[in-house]
Amino acid sequence: MSFEITILGSSSATPTLNRNPSSQVVTIYDRYFLVDCGEGAQMQMRKYKIKFAKINHIFISHLHGDHILGLPGFLSSLHLMNRSNDLHLYCHEPLKEILEVQFKHSETYLKFNIVYHFLNKAQSEIIYEDDKVLVETIILNHRIPCCGFIFREKPAMLSIRKDKIEAYNILPQDIPNIKRGNDYITEQGKVIPCKELTYPPKEPQSYAYCSDTLYDESYAAKLMGIKLLYHEATFLHDMIKRAKETYHTTAKQAAEMAEKCKVQKLLIGHFSARYHDLEPLLHEARQTFPQTYLAKEGEVFSLN
């Protein structure tokens, strides 16, 4: 599938018997992006058949333990598996020191190079781009610097109609030009409008990952029209005071953000360990935004 999100962990702060700390894999056109890496992330990748070698880019939202403590172990496993190609790590700068201290005192000398891309904690920016995918940051409001990430599929070219290729004897070398939106001129000089020769491309998909944050409308503009929004929902709204104290969001607030930003679907996660049953959080969010779903371990959400 061309655009999928696999949930590896959705617990906040501490693991539970059936929920691991935050971690996801976003797959777009065979590009595998690991987003946050809480404890047990590599075990979850094995369980859900995510190939380690496919992970070339890791995005870390912030430096609280429930988002990074699985990373030293994962990197060590890649080392023991004789990885040699570069691994790109998008993170706040102090994470480099954390990892270097770990490897220094364990006398681990990685067989591959970590290419660090330090996040700007003050403003949003594009941090990854190729011919199919663009990733940009969202500045969130947490106790320490924290970024969310938006993954956008780039617009595809037009799809050419096979029946028109035959009807107008269009040569292969002319097809890319038509797909880019240009009209076709036959050998007789007749202009055939591009719209007659093509189908419109499918609408580009988008996914936003909003990690730990207070409800803060300052980042709402970035989320406008997103197809699928993951937003933390650590508490039920009856614990709004605790949410504010810890710089977190309630399920009701996550739903309000989804409604405000006119997203298509909402995933809620980062659940407090106090909740053994997640249905009340889902119910609370759906009262405001019906197209809400729980980010449960092993669930795969497709945007195709």
Residues of the chain with pLDDT under 50: none
Does 194 share its domain with 139?
A: no
Digit-coded pLDDT (tens) for 141-155: 999 999 999 999 998
Q: What's the confidence (pLDDT) of residue 2?
A: 87
**Percent of the chain beyond pLDDT 70?**
100
**Domain limit, last residue, from 137, 172, 199:** 199
Q: What's the confidence (pLDDT) of residue 1?
A: 53
Digit-coded pLDDT (tens) for 137-192: 999 999 999 999 999 999 887 888 888 888 888 888 888 888 888 998 888 888 98
Q: What's the confidence (pLDDT) of residue 92?
A: 98
Does 238 share its domain with 179?
A: no
Q: What's the confidence (pLDDT) of residue 201?
A: 82
Whole-model pTM over 0.75: yes
Does 140 share its domain with 168?
A: no
Q: Which of 30, 36, 66, 131 is catalytic?
A: 66
**Domain limit, last residue, from 199, 227, 253:** 199
Digit-coded pLDDT (tens) for 198-207: 888 888 999 9
- Residues of the domain holding 16: 3-156+202-302
Does 178 share its domain with 40?
A: no
Q: What's the confidence (pLDDT) of residue 97?
A: 98
d(CA 7, CA 10): 7
Number of structural domains found in the chain? 2
Q: Is 36 a catalytic residue?
A: no
Does 232 share its domain with 270?
A: yes
Instruction: Spell 68-105 as b/e; 16+ CB within 10 A means b.
Output: bbbbbbbbbebeeeebeeebbbbbbeebeeebeeebee
**Domain limit, last residue, from 145, 173, 199:** 199
